[in-house]
Amino acid sequence: MSAATQGTSTNAGPAAFTVLTSRKRRQGSAGPSTSYHVHHSGARHPCSSSSASSSSSSTKPGYALDALSAAHLGHGDAMDMDDDPTSADDGGDGATTIAVPGEPLASSSLFMRGHGTTLSSTGTITSTVAGTLVLTNKLLSIPPIRSRYIPEIGDLVIGQVTSLSPKRWKVDIHSRSDASLQLSSINLPGGVQRRKLESDELQMRNFFKEDDWVVAEVQSVFHDGTVGLHTRSLRYGKLRNGTVQKVEAGRVKRLKSHFCDVTLAPPRAGHDEAALDRDRDPGRDAAKPVKLDLILGLNGYIWIAKHVPFSLSKAEGTEGQGMAGTGTGRDVDAVYTDDNEEIDTATRAAISTARKVIAILDAWCVPISDVAVERAYETLVELHRGEGDVEPEVQRIVVESTLEAVA
């Protein structure tokens, strides 16, 4: 059987993509294949329809990768792997093959099965989840469209403390189970390097308590799914002066550094809050750009906060007195404090607008990075006054502008 043929898509801008669907079922019944043009809004329109052509034996099941199977077997037209719309390097016209649970994908004699697939008794690689089919050389895998975060060692994550246990905290990181943050895996106030004592265990609630937001790194992942975290870094610890926005874990793009600072224009408010700021601080320029800190957690939690300058050399060279004694640290008095700094109205408005921008990017399935957030923020500020919900047409323009900037 042949694969679903690709239809000619209309020029609908970067916010549209083509999804190939096939009406053939496991029984191998020959039927027409239809290509749909799917817009980010969810509307589906048929673009073209073609009759299925058979270039291999009719006894084979209807594989989603029949064209590739025929090419490898030497049947039909030759297909270059670089032109395959299902490959991981999707640099063509954006065509994507969507697999559904139970759909036969290919023969195990031609491809290897990866995550999201299983091997049937007939030697057919079958999908077990709904998601985008990814072909890396001969490895077939299907990242699910929606799933909880799967931790990997070295990932930067943001989590919320849910409970305290002897010598450890339980942290919700949007995974299958809560992660564990050991008392021995944190920095003591003042950066003191010593073994944790019973007195440290008695004051664990002074370090982290329930509902605190923390940024940490995945230190270990065990076979039973248990995850261990650590905050032994000057950049890790309790989060303050901001808010969190939850997105799908797969939306966050892997970057060289997930600690980002962005410079944004102050949003246009519906009422004269800028005048209120000038009354409080006459010397402040209402049009002055606002700088925010972004922490992009790979588990789908993004922290948006007021910018706080950080110098690694200065932090390592600072000595002071903390709860655990004298030593060096990021901020001896503020590492575990619950007090937020004063945040002016323009910064608050920028944080709120940035959170709205990230929600739009998540809803439209756009990979989230600091560059994408900056571009989407600029476009939204130009088109929207920052009050109420953003109209779908404005969202579409924001997404198209963002995709052009990050392309």
Asked if pLDDT for residue 175 goes beyond 60, the answer is: yes
pTM for the full predicted model: 0.68
Provide mean pLDDT across the span 163-183: 93
Helices (H), 255-391: 273-280, 312-316, 345-363, 370-383
Q: For residue range 27-38, list pLDDT tens digits in order.
A: 344 444 333 333
Q: For residue range 106-156, list pLDDT tens digits in order.
A: 888 889 999 899 999 888 999 999 888 888 888 999 988 888 898 999 999
Q: Tell me the pLDDT of the chain averaged across its residues.
A: 73
Q: For residue range 1-10, list pLDDT tens digits in order.
A: 444 434 433 3
- pLDDT higher at 312 or 63: 63
Helices (H), 255-311: 273-280
Provide mean pLDDT across the span 100-104: 90
Distance CA 134, CA 64 (A): 12
In the chain, what are the domains? 16-141 (2.40.50.100)
Q: What is the total residue count of the chain?
A: 407
Q: What pLDDT sits at residue 98?
A: 83
| Longest Cα–Cα distance in the chain | 81
Distance CA 387, CA 380 (A): 11
Q: Please give the structure tokens belonging to residue 198.
A: 């019973």
Distance CA 253, CA 326 (A): 39
Most confident segment among 55-59, 68-72, 187-191:
187-191
Distance CA 85, CA 134 (A): 9
Q: What pLDDT sits at residue 219?
A: 95
Distance CA 239, CA 246 (A): 15
**Side-chain-facing half-sphere of 93: CA atoms under 13 Å:** 13
| Minimum mean pLDDT range among 93-107, 326-340, 346-360, 380-394 | 326-340
